[in-house]
Amino acid sequence: MFRGQPEKTEEEDGQNRKADDEYLIRRGFLQGKVDHNGEFTEVHNIIDAIVVLPGNLFYGTTIPGAILFINKNKPAERKDKVLMVYAAKEGWYKEEANMNVLLPHDILRISTILESWGDLEIAKTWIDSQKTRLKNLIQEDLDFKLLEIKEYYAEDIEIKKDKLAKAKKVITDREAANKKPTKGQEKAVVTAQTALDKLTTEKENKITAAHEQAEKERQAIDDVEQELIAMLQDPELRKRYFAIADMEELDENEFNLNIPRYVDTFEPEEEIDLKEAIIEFKDTIYKENDLDKSISELLKVLA
């Protein structure tokens, strides 16, 4: 993506340096094949798009991954261009304990940019074609989770039910024999019922949480649709999502494919209300002075 440098002469940088293999591979993808003399035998850019993903997304590595889309039959209007998509933005993935995850609405963002190349009408058509599919995937995932929850608790709940039934039968048998149940037998029923209720509630809570998560993901797809449409209509916002680099710009950057060279990846700083900040600062100073006085008085008493 960005390691390696081109050949440099002594006049250019004070030393003679051969081009690194990684640089030559990149240039070959972007400009075409060269012979042993370094002359182009075929001018052909086969990199269609690059997507930089968030870190910790794949097993075995925490570093960010990147997807290169190769197309040997690029349309004429794109033959000297490369689409750069920055999909590692904060909020574009779900952070989990062990690995980050791309949710359906995250995938919708990426795929919409890849399909539309910034064309609003193409983006609208693509989103319409994907919303139903993605929501169906969410439902399929929900059905799978619900089945997992049911199977996970089925055996334990049956055991608890059986234990409760046995405890109740002991009391029923005692009463049938005109005998009063012992406190231990009555307690066994309460204990068994409590254990069953606890397990049933735990199961129901997980089911509710799964439904809520699915609903959030469905709503997120609708929210991302509006986000993407607003972004594509705003030239300043577009810069933060993707860039279309032409060959001249790539050449100027020595075919470096590091996304931040082309996409504005910096998160905007939160705006601060100076009046409120000054009021809070003065209040903090006042409290600090008041605390200093209290400490001084206490020290005088102790002395």
* Distance (Å, whole) CA 74 – CA 247: 14
Of the candidates 88, 129, 92, the one whose C-alpha atom is nearest the C-alpha of residue 224 is: 92
Domain boundary (175, 208, 233) is at: 233
Predicted local confidence at residue 228, as pLDDT: 94
Which amino acid is present at 247? M
Predicted local confidence at residue 10, as pLDDT: 63
- Residue 169 sits in the same domain as residue 209: yes
- Residue 94 sits in the same domain as residue 108: no
Hey, what long-range contacts does 8-12 have (CB within 8 A, 24 or more apart)?
none
Predicted local confidence at residue 140, as pLDDT: 95
> Is the C-alpha dihedral spanning 249, 253, 258, 264 positive or negative?
negative
- Residue 61 sits in the same domain as residue 131: no
* Distance (Å, whole) CA 149 – CA 127: 32
Predicted local confidence at residue 251, as pLDDT: 85
Predicted local confidence at residue 14, as pLDDT: 67
- Residue 88 sits in the same domain as residue 115: no
- Residue 263 sits in the same domain as residue 296: no
Residue 271's alpha-carbon distances to 53, 268, 295, in angstroms, are 28, 9, 36
- Residue 162 sits in the same domain as residue 223: yes
- Residue 112 sits in the same domain as residue 228: yes
Question: Other C-beta atoms within 10 Å of 51: how many?
Answer: 21
- Residue 97 sits in the same domain as residue 184: no
- Residue 139 sits in the same domain as residue 217: yes
Domain tally, the chain = 3
- Residue 197 sits in the same domain as residue 261: no
Domain holding 188, by residue range, is 103-233
- Residue 16 sits in the same domain as residue 98: yes
Per-residue pLDDT of the chain (303 residues; tens, 9 = 90+): 877 777 776 666 667 777 778 888 888 888 887 777 767 777 788 899 999 998 888 888 888 889 999 998 888 888 899 999 999 888 888 888 888 999 999 999 999 999 999 999 999 999 999 999 999 999 999 999 999 999 999 999 999 999 999 999 999 998 898 888 889 999 999 999 999 999 999 999 999 999 999 999 999 999 999 999 999 999 888 888 999 999 889 888 888 888 888 988 776 666 777 888 888 888 898 889 888 888 888 888 886
- Residue 70 sits in the same domain as residue 185: no
The alpha carbons of the chain give a radius of gyration, in whole angstroms, of 32
Question: Other C-beta atoms within 10 Å of 92: how many?
Answer: 20
> Is the C-alpha dihedral spanning 153, 154, 155, 158 positive or negative?
positive
Predicted local confidence at residue 203, as pLDDT: 96
Displacement of CA 36 from its chain's centroid (Å): 44
